[in-house]
Chains A and B, each alone.
Chain A
């Protein structure tokens, strides 16, 4: 009896190890924010082909696209994504703080930024309301569409874009300081008609004919164009707007647990390759921008920050912005989130008063 048992076990072991060798498949779970779903939809097959050729391993992808904040919270709560590609840095930082990312995910050429975009204004075809810049959006009874900052990273970018433009003096009628900026976003959010849960939903609401002007991402506009709806709306580039930088990171705790750390790292590296960046560009995303500091010619003045795209841009498709600024202007997301969007945040309190 025992002899048979041993023989059987050995056979089983042999069979299973052969099966293991055959079954060279891994599964990667990607948690993305709402907006780049099409881009990743194209990048993933390319990566799968590349990895198969390089290592003979088949990679199966499980994708999830949700509002950035929601996705971040899900990952922290136990959704075991191996890679996160979110809307803003803070949402990844949260995951790192929760102990799920133990490496310095920003320690690469692009500071962890895989794609970028700019906040733009979207109006109906032939611009019936004659919107040319931020100032035209407020005080005229226009219905504004923008997502909800509580759930959407895109929405927080939009708030800071508007705030920043006013703060830096590029919105007529508002003083170039904190007070003026606050007055501007107050005026803006008074006119908001719908607060959707994420950037994509907000854009779709506008696409369905609701509202007069939408604050959205440039790449969302291009996604709409790619879907064949470009003739329904027009994009207006403000003189001053924020550079939206989207981070990507490997959640190494989960990736290690699933034994896919190597593939995950490879995928993230792949997203920086010209191939992948071209796909991002085709989907309306800008590449990461470099921060170049040049000392000011005037003594005592701070260094001048110039933002330079890491890849040359087609200027017709991605026009240069007169005053492009980054979240660093306000201390980075680590400062902005509590100051603006915390329980007693500037924005939080503003919306209570405005709509009350």
Chain B
């Protein structure tokens, strides 16, 4: 039976002609993905490199441009790290414990997926703006400027990225083999050691997947950042906002150049995600 099944896989022995259909399907899918996804990459690459590598290099190494790229990268990075910690903790609480309001918390987490980025920016300004009680308190008493600062950027990114780690880790945590934990307990390990040696390694791929995904998502964020960051070049102007300004000013070389860099970073990150995801699944299959 197994051999007959394997035979069918190639669509070889058919009176019903699915082979043609499969090929048609495969072709249409490849064409669709190529057009939808490869096109933008192609366009940016061509535009960015049209005047040659040296012009490309000059336009991205200009201090404003380079600064914007770096700002995007490090704010997204810090956010990802905080997110991995808090996201895993949140997932842990959701999976491990029963408590009143658990359903509400679980729904709340998806909020950032659903809210338009513009609205996020508006909400944050309404809450932390310098003219609000909270905003002026934070500024006067603690010297923390939320809006129009790098802190604000990280805050907005944390909002956006929250669901990524949680939703990545939750299913893995839920499936964790209880037996191994019990074994570790009976052998005398503390809860913390159990967490560190048994649970954490199993979760690590999922945590990293979620973290990387939130990082890549944050790199390209525009709608909320443009409202709350102040957009000061060299200070609070992220790469996405910089590209926007360049496009509006008709400076296509630097717009494309910076876009290409950010796109490449995001691409590498998603490739990384893919890699960890595969490892994640393999690790979990070994456990179940």
Contact = CB atoms under 8 A, between A and B. Distances in A.
Contacts of A195: 230-233, 237
B63 A352 contact: yes
A2 interface: no
B250 interface: yes
Nearest to B249: A150
B249 A341 contact: yes
A94 B250 contact: yes
A209 B129 contact: yes
A257 interface: no
A341 B235 CA distance: 19
Q: Which of B62, B125, B231, B246 has the most CB of A within 10 A?
A: B231
Contacts of A355: 232-235
B231 A194 contact: yes
A194 B251 CA distance: 22
Interface in B228-270: 230-235, 237, 244-251, 254
Contacts of A210: 129-131, 147-148
Contacts of B224: none
B226 A208 contact: no
B198 interface: no
A269 B57 CA distance: 49
Nearest to B245: A150
Nearest to B242: A150
A209 B131 contact: yes
Contacts of A209: 129-131
A210 B250 CA distance: 30
B36 to A, nearest CB: 21
A182 interface: no
A351 B254 CA distance: 16
A343 B245 contact: no
A70 B245 CA distance: 9
Nearest to B58: A343
Given A208-B131, A209-B129, A343-B251, A352 B246 contact: no
Interface in A184-231: 192-197, 208-210
A112 interface: no
B230 A193 contact: yes
A354 B62 CA distance: 14
A148 interface: yes
Given A343-B254, A355-B234, A356-B67, A151 B62 contact: no
Contacts of A352: 62-64, 233-234
Contacts of A196: 231
A69 interface: yes
A258 interface: no
Contacts of B129: 208-210
A341 B62 CA distance: 15
Contacts of B250: 69, 73, 94
A67 interface: yes
A151 B248 contact: yes
Nearest to B251: A343
Given A194-B231, A355-B234, A73 B131 contact: no
B248 A150 contact: yes
A5 B284 CA distance: 71
A224 to B, nearest CB: 15
A76 to B, nearest CB: 8
Contacts of B245: 148, 150-151
Interface in B83-141: 125, 129-131
Contacts of B64: 351-352
A194 B149 CA distance: 10
Q: Which of A69, A70, A210 has the most CB of B within 10 A?
A: A210
A343 B65 CA distance: 12
B247 A73 contact: yes
B130 A150 contact: no
A308 to B, nearest CB: 34
A63 to B, nearest CB: 20
A194 B235 contact: no
A69 B129 CA distance: 28
A151 B244 contact: yes
A354 B246 CA distance: 19
Interface string B201-244: 00000000000000000000000001000111111010000001
Contact of A73 (B62, B148, B233, B248): B248
Q: Give the most central of A148, A354, A356: most B CB within 10 Å.
A: A148
Which of A67, A195, A209, A210 has the most chain B CB within a 10 Å cutoff? A195
B130 A356 contact: no
A341 B130 CA distance: 31
Contacts of A193: 148, 230, 232
Contacts of A354: 234
Nearest to A353: B63
Interface in A321-356: 341, 343, 351-352, 354-356
Given A195-B230, A197-B226, 5 more contacts: A150-B246, A195-B231, A195-B233, A343-B254, A356-B63
Interface of B: 62-64, 67, 125, 129-131, 147-148, 226, 230-235, 237, 244-251, 254
5 contacts: A69-B248, A194-B230, A195-B237, A352-B234, A355-B233
Leading 10 A-B pairs by shortest Cβ distance? A209-B131, A355-B234, A150-B245, A151-B248, A194-B230, A150-B249, A70-B248, A352-B63, A195-B231, A69-B248
